[in-house]
């Protein structure tokens, strides 16, 4: 349930980011400020945890920097392509997570997860015709794949951090670090531009940043980074559906095939994990 809700909430980031004609680092800065205020407000009101964050931990700082790079690159990927291509190219992430996690944590690679990860990559191939690689879509895919790597690294180390800190403390620290890193970009847009895009910015800050990513962080308490990566691979499908209804981006038959392959990999992984339990 956590992963499903996280997937739905995070899916909003694609259509919302594509809708706004704002500088990507500025958008990430605003969404992080909103997310930080909401999360810290809840933390203060509930009184369950101290408002002090573990910002002296080097791994916390590292994951915050990596998360910042991931978000900024993903939004540049949106800028140079469209929601379908950006959202699905970024989800070569499960396969990268499986490989990187096995190296960092010295875990044995599960052949089933490798197959499912490859299926996701096949889905990505169908989503982007080869003849279009000469234009900016190719750059969008490249940025999406680099963003993948950053997300995989951040999630793997976040899983390790949860052995010492709560999911709330870990994620809130990462959001705070991202805010600090992007302060130099905070003045790139006018107040009028912010007001004109207030609704998508609030959706990004509250639904995606606050709810979606926090739920994903909590899911690491129950699953490995590789398992979570495969389970949330359905996110691009939700994003494509939202883009169709909200932005009028009509998917081609290749996009539909690619989405179907991704969904097959997600459901197969879900059934496999459910059977193991």
Q: How many CA atoms lie within 13 A of 264 on its CB side?
A: 14
| Cβ pair 104, 59 in contact under 8 A | no
Which range scores top for mean pLDDT: 86-95, 114-123, 130-139, 185-194? 185-194
pLDDT at 54 over 60: yes
pLDDT at 35 over 60: yes
The pLDDT value given to residue 161:
95
Task: State the Rg of the chain over Cα.
Answer: 18
Measured distance CA(231)–CA(248) in Å, rounded: 27
Q: How many C-beta neighbours within 10 Å does residue 198 have?
A: 11
The pLDDT value given to residue 67:
96
Nearest to 137 by CA among 69, 77, 71, 73: 77
Measured distance CA(85)–CA(62) in Å, rounded: 28
pTM for the whole structure? 0.81
pLDDT at 121 over 80: no
Residue 138: domain span: 2-276
The 10s digit of each residue's pLDDT in 255-271 is 778 778 877 877 787 77
Tally of structural domains, the chain: 1
Tell which wins on pLDDT, 96 or 67. Answer: 67
Q: How many C-beta neighbours within 10 Å does residue 27 have?
A: 27
The 10s digit of each residue's pLDDT in 176-196 is 999 999 999 988 888 888 899
CA 167, 173, 177 angle in degrees (round to 5)?
A: 150
């Amino acid at each position: 349930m956590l992963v499903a809700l996280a997937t739905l909430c995070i899916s909003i980031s694609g259509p919302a980011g594509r809708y706004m004609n704002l500088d990507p680092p500025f958008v990430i800065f605003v969404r992080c400020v909103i997310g930080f205020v909401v999360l810290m407000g809840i933390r203060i009101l509930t009184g369950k945890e101290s408002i002090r964050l573990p910002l002296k931990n080097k791994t916390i700082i590292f994951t915050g920097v990596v998360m910042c790079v991931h978000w900024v690159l993903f939004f540049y990927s949106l800028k140079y392509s469209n929601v379908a291509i950006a959202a699905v190219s970024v989800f070569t992430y499960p396969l990268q997570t499986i490989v990187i996690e096995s190296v960092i944590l010295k875990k044995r690679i599960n052949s089933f997860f490798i197959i499912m990860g490859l299926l996701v990559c096949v889905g990505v191939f169908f989503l982007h015709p080869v003849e279009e690689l000469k234009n900016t879509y190719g750059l969008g895919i490249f940025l999406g794949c680099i963003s993948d790597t950053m997300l995989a690294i951040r999630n793997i180390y976040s899983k390790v951090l949860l052995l010492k800190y709560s999911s709330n403390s870990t994620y809130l620290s990462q959001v705070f670090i991202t805010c600090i890193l992007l302060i130099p970009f905070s003045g790139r847009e006018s107040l009028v531009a912010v007001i004109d895009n207030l609704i998508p910015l609030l959706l990004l800050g509250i639904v995606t940043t606050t709810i979606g990513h926090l739920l994903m962080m909590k899911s690491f308490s129950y699953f490995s980074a590789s398992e979570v990566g495969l389970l949330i691979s359905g996110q691009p499908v939700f994003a494509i559906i939202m883009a169709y209804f909200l932005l009028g981006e009509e998917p081609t038959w290749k996009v539909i095939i690619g989405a179907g392959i991704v969904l097959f990999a997600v459901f197969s992984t879900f059934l496999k994990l459910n059977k193991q339990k």
